[in-house]
Chains A and B, each alone.
Chain A
Amino acid sequence: MISKNLTAASTKPIILGILKQGNSYGYLIIKKIKELSGGKMEYSDGMLYPVLHRLEKDGLIKSNWTMDGGTRPRKYYEITALGKEELVTEQAQWQQVNAVLNTLWDVKPSTT
């Protein structure tokens, strides 16, 4: 099980990464994270929303209410240009952390 602090720290790049693959709404985003982590990242679903709203406030993502096909309205989130830049920075940072840890533990750095 991944610790709470680490989970919290990685939420931002994860959300941005998910949204980069396509627009989505809150429930779907959560579902996707859970699937990807195979249940190893423990979230309380509700905590996702303050993060989404903060990202929106910072201009990394934007939202739109839409009605698709007579079902219920959904608040779709979409990554902005600024968000894409931020994602690149985050990626670089995580890879650096990864590299430092790999060196320490004397494991051959992964190429992915």
Chain B
Amino acid sequence: MFKLEKSIANWLKSFRKHPAYDEASYLEMELHLRDHIEDLIHKGYTEQEAFEKAVAEFGDVPAVAKEEYSTQTRNRTMGRILYSTLFKNYYKTSLRSMMRNPLSSFINVVGLAAAIGICIFTYSFAQWTYRTDQFHEHKNEVFLTTFFANREGKIQQNGRSPVPLAKRLQEDFPQIDDVCRVQNTHAVVKYNDHIFHERITFADPSYLSLFTFPLRSGAKASLEDKNSVILSDRLAKKYFGEKDPIGQNILIKFSDASSKTFKVTGVAEDFPPSISFNFNFLIHFENIEFGDAAYDKNDWSAFVDATFIHMSDTTGLNQIAKQMDEYRILQNESKKDWQVESFAFEPLATLHKRSADIRNAINISLEDGYASIIYLTFVGIFMLVLACFNYINISIVSAAKRLKEIGIRKTIGANRKIIIIQFLSENLVATSLALGLGVILGVYVFIPWFESLFYFDMGFKWMDLTLWIYLPLVLLFTALASGLYPAFYISKFPVTGILKGSVKFGKKNPLTRFILGFQLILSCMFVTCAIMFTQNAQYLANRSWGYNEDQALYVEVPDASGFRQLSASLEQETDVITIAGSSHHLGKSSLSTIVKLPTQDHEVEQIAVDANYFAALGIDIVQGRGFQDHSEADRNVIVVNEQFVKKILGGKPIDALVKIDSARFTVAGVVKDFHNHSFETEVAPTFFRLADPSEYRYLSIKVKDGTQNSMYQSLQKHWITHFPETPFQGGYQEDVWGMYFVEIGIHGKVWRGIAMIAILLAGLGLYGLVTLNVTGRIREFSIRKVLGANIRSLARNITKQYIMLFVISLGIGSVLSYYLISFIFDSAYTYHMPVGIGGVSLAVVTLVSVLLLVVSVQLSRVSKANPVEGLQME
């Protein structure tokens, strides 16, 4: 007896031997045969006859298969595969299936976008750092002259150079094309009613050809004229607004006794955003004699801030450094306490990286920037990993909901490859969306936020080739990292298993657990950092400075007579408790000095003050005495701090003899250690000596508590009556560290930002998992409810599977966090709060609350749901 179905099945089997056919093609062949047979039966053929005729007319299967195969292998280029993956139909089905699961899609896209945003931000920050000074055309031909000197047994590189060095280099070495001396100073600049303290740069005329600072108006050659000044763009706007400054006269007051009028002959274009040194007011170097009366161009013991050389052919550079011995001897003979060992040249291109190790380098160091890039890269990668893990987890778990779809796709002809491609293209659509959103987040949220925190311009540009290489790489990485595993995992299940319902995955997948655990550990670390940095900012703000900065005000005075005038009028103020004069001032200035001991020389800080200074600043004397007013005898005594005793004197400090320069001093007293500089620097050995009244440059007052604000105003009023032509430079002693506390606060802000994103990512991931879990078990919960389960037992049921995971991951996470934060604090801060378990515990509590929140949201969903509906489903 002929069996039609069996014959058709057998006939179809003959296709299976050929690689050209996938499930869809079988189906097409089968349908063809069935259509044909049906037609023939209608015409009166028997089943068997119809089958035989249809098969005969179909033709030779191997030949057809061969033809089909050659069709498929043709045109199999990468481009075609990409085309078929990306554009053909999949993006439509991808978008559709994304819309079908809006929650998981939202979690995936937002999570990835946040992580990609951080990557874009990191990229932009790295670009900003790497670009520093790279706009100088001659960056590889211009060198800073540096010297190595032995201080306290340590060889240290120094960026300054002896005054006559530039001239000698140019005379002695024809291979040097040009030299340029640079010296910065502060002076008062006056134009009409504008009177400000400004930074003035003395430089040789070669400055504008060595460095690429193009002028937007005026001529570079005008710097040859000693009466010319070239302004930066910013300063031109500050003084002249929209008016053309060229040809205007400004007065520069170097000191009360010395001032000079300059004509503006040039304005520089706006400086590039990544720059390690620039100028505000650029004038001819020889004007330095107005700024420094003692200037002697032949004095080897005097220094200028920087001497740059330019060599278009740099091959002879090392030779020059070796032949500079003559200068070394000249210098060492004239400055005996500071023996130079050798000279070296630092290229301009890398100066911003090196200058942290060069003392007194003229430019700012970008070393912190390079360290930050490393931190940010780690953060960026971790965030991406967190987001990819969310994606993997959610894909796997939500595939449980899509099992039927996969099964049906497989039956109507999709083979494993097609399922993989489908999932990968869904993933590609999601990651591309995330990339778009991430770029927007990075460029319009993260970068401007960071720029506003640190008051700088990162100079982000869209027109940047490396950016367009970087972005696709980020996309590729995210797409592969998040998509590959789920695609392969989901596609491997057999159709029969899926349709019979015997396949159950996702819920007990060990990988999902591992991933969630890993996410928790990472989040725990980020959250701990955020909490600890915030607490530390608080701790440092409350840390004692070692003296009473709270009640002190200070002002810079032009000279001794200025000090006398101001202090005479301040004495009338009833709220002033003490008035003190000094030539240096805590937090503002001190003099680096060498103390000679028989065994070793020490570098210490020197502060010259009057007898009232300790009282005015609230510095505590712990041993011996302070200075006595105008006592001639006290000219030979010093008061030292505890560090000085500990590191240099040891034992009994009082009456110890100390040799400084060529003079001998007796230690009269010891004061408690105080923070002269911010908490970034360790307390240095410091001594006070009695200042001669002619040296006074600062006036400090101690005021009654509560009158700080009113006294600050009266101080300014007194200032204006006495010195209407000089800007007021002073303020609350609390503010002498400038931006220090602001910056510490920023650390907290940045970490809080990062932690927020980390919590968001982990929270979203957790939320997605719990939601899917609950949705998958809605029938079970409904039955439980019908059978009388209360909220508590349902809650226990939902949380049960996460509790162990939480305990283990948070255990590991808190230990890691503890060590991580200790490491970061030790490397970032000189003084920081003790690292306790407080911050870590707070982080754990935060994360547990996130879990509870997520579970309670789902719990309320389950408890509100009508069990009837839950059971009606399917």
Contact = CB atoms under 8 A, between A and B. Distances in A.
Interface in A15-55: 25-28, 30-31, 43-47, 49-50, 53-54
A73 B27 contact: yes
Given A54-B71, A65-B412, A49 B57 contact: no
A65 B39 CA distance: 21
Contacts of A43: 59
B328 interface: no
A46 B72 CA distance: 16
A47 B67 contact: yes
B57 A45 contact: yes
Given A47-B67, A53-B71, A75 B61 contact: no
B34 interface: yes
A97 to B, nearest CB: 24
A108 interface: no
B71 A27 contact: no
Contacts of B412: 65, 73
A25 B25 CA distance: 13
A74 B28 CA distance: 8
Interface string B18-57: 0000001101110110111001000000000000001001
A65 to B, nearest CB: 7
B60 interface: yes
A73 B71 contact: no
Contacts of B35: 27-28
Interface in B60-92: 60-61, 63-64, 67-68, 70-72, 74-75
Nearest to A44: B59
A44 B58 contact: yes
Contacts of B24: 65, 75
Contacts of A54: 71, 74
Given A45-B58, A72-B31, A75-B31, A27 B64 contact: no
A49 B72 contact: no
Contact of A46 (B27, B58, B70): B58
B36 to A, nearest CB: 6
Contacts of A53: 25, 68, 71-72
B88 to A, nearest CB: 9
A45 B59 contact: yes
B61 A27 contact: no
B64 A47 contact: yes
Given A27-B36, A53-B68, A46 B31 contact: no
A39 to B, nearest CB: 12
A26 B32 CA distance: 7
A2 B70 CA distance: 25
Contacts of A57: 71-72, 74-75
B31 A47 contact: no
Nearest to B36: A27
A46 B71 contact: no
Contacts of B34: 72
A79 to B, nearest CB: 17
A43 to B, nearest CB: 8
A49 B64 contact: yes
Contacts of A28: 35
Contacts of B28: 26, 49, 75
B71 A45 contact: no
Contacts of B68: 49-50, 53
A46 B59 contact: yes
B59 A47 contact: yes
B31 A73 contact: yes
Contacts of A31: 39
A50 B73 CA distance: 12
Interface string A49-93: 110011001100000010000001111000000000000000000
Contacts of B29: 46, 49
B18 to A, nearest CB: 12
A26 to B, nearest CB: 5
B270 to A, nearest CB: 53
Nearest to B80: A57
B563 to A, nearest CB: 90
A70 to B, nearest CB: 15
Contacts of B39: 31
Nearest to B64: A46
A4 to B, nearest CB: 12
Interface centre among B29, B34, B35 (most CB of A within 10 A): B35
A28 B388 CA distance: 48
B40 to A, nearest CB: 12
A71 to B, nearest CB: 10
A73 B54 CA distance: 20
Interface in B409-445: 412
Interface centre among B25, B29, B64 (most CB of A within 10 A): B64
Given A44-B58, A44-B59, A45-B58, A50 B71 contact: yes
A50 B27 contact: no
The 8 A-B pairs of least Cβ separation, nearest first, read A44-B59, A46-B64, A50-B67, A27-B35, A54-B71, A46-B59, A50-B68, A46-B58
Given A46-B61, A46-B64, A65-B412, 5 more contacts: A27-B36, A28-B35, A50-B67, A58-B75, A72-B34
9 contacts: A26-B32, A44-B60, A45-B57, A46-B59, A46-B61, A53-B25, A53-B68, A54-B74, A73-B31
